A and B are shown apart, each in its own frame.
Chain A
Amino acid sequence: MSAPPSRTDAVPALAADDLSVSFGPKTALAGVTLSIPRGRVVSIIGPSASGKTTLLRAFNRLNELTPGAVTTGAVRFNGIDLHGGEVDPVEVRRRIGMVFQQATVFPRSVFDNVAFGPRASGYGGDLHELAEEALTAAGLWSEVAEDLDAPALALSSGQQQRLCIARTLALKPEVLLLDEPTSALDPAATARIESSIHALKRDHTIVLATHGRRQAARLSDLTAYLAGGELVEYGPTETLFTNPRDPRTESYLTGRIP
C-alpha cells in the first residue's frame, strides 16, 4: 500500500537545508537547517552580524544580487528547491515578500508605491481596490485614504514602514519576510507595526528578524537563535524563552550578550 497523500500542511512553507552563505572571505551563514511551518510567525533573533538578515535574504534569493555571494545547501519553498534551474527569482520574490529594516519607499505617490508590484506583474484587476485592501491590512488605510496621491516621502517614518508592508502585501505573497522592521522606529510606531503583524498572522507565514527579544516573545510562535552564522537553538517561543537548552541562548536572553 502506498502512503496516503501527504497533506500540504505537512510540507513547511520554507525550509533551509544545510544552508551556508559567504560573501568573499566572510562567512555569513554556516550550515543552517530549519523549517518554517505554514501560517506561523517565526522570529529570528541574535546579535548584530549573526546572520539574521542573510537568512531572510536567502529565502527570496536576494543574496545573489550581492557581488561575490556564494550560497551552498538548499532553500525550499513549499518543497520546491528555490535554486532549481527552472525557478524564476522574479516569481519567487512575488510570492515571498520582503520588508527591509529601513523604509524604502519610492519617491512617488502613496498609491504608486502600493501599485508598483502589481503593475510589474501585470495585475489585471482593480488597482484601487487592491491598494485599499493592502493599506488596510498594513493598518495605514485610515491615515492615507484622504490623499493617495500625496508623496510617500511626506509620511512619517512609521507610516513609511507600514507603506512598505502594504506595498509587499499588494502582491498577495504567501510568506512575509520582515527584516527588523521596527528597529528605526519609536515605541508608538513600533506598537502600530506590531499590531499590523499580529493581524497579518491569520493569512500569512511570517519570518521576523528582530533585535528585540521582547518583540519576538510578543509576536512569534517559534523562535530561532542565531549566533555567528550558526543556528544555536530553535523551538517554540515560550520554551526557548523560559527554558533555553543552550547556555549561549540563555546568556543572550538574559542580556549578557548584547
Chain B
Amino acid sequence: MTVARLPGAGAASHGLADRLAGPVLLACTVAAAGTLVALAGVLGVEAGRFFAQVSPVRFFTEADWTPFAEEPRFGVLPLLAATAQITAGAGVFGVPAGLMTAVYLEHYAGARTERALTAVTALLAGVPTVVYGCFALDFVTPALRSLWPGTEAFNALSACLVVGLMIVPTVVLLSRAALKSVPAQLMEAGLALGASRGRVVARVLVPAALGGIVAAVFLALARAVGETMIVTLAAGNQAQPTWSPLEGLRTLTAFIAQSGPGGAPSGSLQYGAVFAASAVLLAFSWGLHAAGMFLVSRRRRGGAR
C-alpha cells in the first residue's frame, strides 16, 4: 500500500535547517553577550586591582598623568579633557556637515545627484582610519601650518577636522534613516499650505525626525570618543595638557594604544592604568549612547510635540 505524500514533504533538509536555526542563532547571541560580559569583567578586575593601589579620588581629580615617570602620577583629567576636546571638535565640524548633507540628499537633491553623493558617503565610510590619519598628518596639518605658522606637527585641530570628517557618514546614514521614516505626504501637505520647501523641512520634517537625528549625533560622537588611529597620528601623544587647538595632546585612546601592547609589563601599576583608562573610555562612550537613547525615548513619550 502506498502512502500518498505531499510534494516536498520528504525534504528532510528543510526540517533540519529549521531545527538548527534556533540553537545556532541563540549560540551567536550568547557569544556576543558573553564577550561583552567578559570584556567588562576583565576591565573591572584589572581596574579594581589598580584602584587598590591608586586612590580613585586622586585619579579623577589630579591633572597630572605621568605613569612612566620615576614617581608616577595617575591624574586622568588631562586624558579625559583631551578626549572631550577631540570629541567636541569633531562634533563641531562633523555634525552640521553630516546633518546638512542628510537633509540635502533627502529633500533637495535630484535623483542622479542623490545616487552619486550616497555612493560617495558610503565610500567615505569605508576609508580605514589609518588612512584618515595619514591624510591628517600629510595634508591637513601642513595646510594648517601655512595658515598659522605656529601650529605644531601634532595638533588637536587637525585631529578634530579629520575625526569630524570620519563621523560624517555615520551622521548622514543614520539621520537620513530618521528623515526617511517621516511620511513623505507631509512635504506635499506643507507645500499645499503655501509654505516653501525650506520651511516645511525646517518646521515639520526635521522636527518630526528629531529623535532619530539626536540618536545619530550621539552615536557618531561615541565613535569620535573611541577614535584612536587618527587621533594618535594627528594629535600625537603629548603628556602636557593644553587647551590650544594648535598644540598636540594625548587622549585616553592614544595612551591606551601606546601603553597597552608591550608598553607596560603585565601586572605593573602602569598595566593597571591602561585598564583604568579603558574603563573611563568605555564609560564615556556608553554615557553618550545612554544620553542619546534617553533623549530619544523622552521625545517619544512627549507624543512628538
A binding-site residues for B, Cβ under 8 Å: 60, 62, 65, 67, 90-91, 93-94, 97-98, 100, 102, 104, 106-109, 116-117, 120-121, 149-151, 153-154, 164, 167-168, 171
Nearest chain B residue, comparing its CB with the CB of A121: B194
| Residue from A98, A121, A153 in contact with B192 in the complex, judged by beta carbons closer than 8 Å | A98
Within 191-206 of B, Cβ neighbours of A (below 8 Å) are at 191-196, 199, 203-204
Residues of B near A107 (CB, < 8 A) are: 182, 204, 207-208, 304
- Whether the pair B304, A153 counts as a contact (CB closer than 8 A) is yes
- Whether the pair B204, A108 counts as a contact (CB closer than 8 A) is yes
| Residue from B111, B190, B303 in contact with A153 in the complex, judged by beta carbons closer than 8 Å | B303
- Whether the pair B188, A62 counts as a contact (CB closer than 8 A) is yes
| Residue from B185, B194, B203 in contact with A93 in the complex, judged by beta carbons closer than 8 Å | B194
What are 17 A-B contacts with C-beta separation under 8 Å? A65-B191, A90-B194, A91-B194, A97-B193, A104-B183, A106-B189, A106-B203, A106-B204, A107-B207, A108-B204, A116-B190, A117-B193, A120-B193, A151-B304, A153-B303, A164-B189, A168-B193
* Contact A104/B303 with A62-B192, A117-B193 known, Cβ cut-off 8 Å: no
Nearest chain A residue, comparing its CB with the CB of B183: A104
7 new A-B contacts at CB < 8 Å, known A93-B192, A100-B185, A116-B203? A93-B193, A94-B193, A104-B185, A116-B190, A117-B193, A164-B189, A171-B193
Once bound together, how far apart are the Cα atoms of A161 and B285, in whole Å? 44
Q: Give the residue among B111, B189, B195 with the most A Cβ atoms within 10 A.
A: B189
Residues of A near B195 (CB, < 8 A) are: 90, 116-117, 120
What 1/0 mask marks residues of chain B from 176 to 191 whose CB sits below 8 Å from any chain A CB?
0000001101101111
Number of chain B residues close to chain A: CB under 8 A: 23
| Residue from B111, B189, B203, B208 in contact with A100 in the complex, judged by beta carbons closer than 8 Å | B189
Q: Give the residue among A120, A149, A151 with the most B Cβ atoms within 10 A.
A: A120
Chain A min CB distance to B275 (Å)? 46
- Whether the pair B207, A104 counts as a contact (CB closer than 8 A) is no
- Whether the pair B188, A102 counts as a contact (CB closer than 8 A) is no
Nearest chain A residue, comparing its CB with the CB of B205: A106
Nearest chain A residue, comparing its CB with the CB of B204: A106
Residues of B near A121 (CB, < 8 A) are: 194
Once bound together, how far apart are the Cα atoms of A67 and B114, in whole Å? 14
Residues of A near B111 (CB, < 8 A) are: 67
- Whether the pair B305, A116 counts as a contact (CB closer than 8 A) is no
- Whether the pair B194, A167 counts as a contact (CB closer than 8 A) is no
Chain A min CB distance to B206 (Å)? 11
Ranked nearest first, the 8 interchain pairs of A and B with the lowest CB-CB distance are A94-B194, A104-B189, A151-B303, A120-B195, A117-B193, A107-B304, A98-B192, A93-B194
Chain A min CB distance to B61 (Å)? 45
Residues of B near A65 (CB, < 8 A) are: 188, 191
Chain A min CB distance to B303 (Å)? 4
What 1/0 mask marks residues of chain B from 150 to 184 whose CB sits below 8 Å from any chain A CB?
00000000000000000000000000000000110
Once bound together, how far apart are the Cα atoms of A121 and B194, in whole Å? 7
Q: Give the residue among A60, A93, A116 with the most B Cβ atoms within 10 A.
A: A116
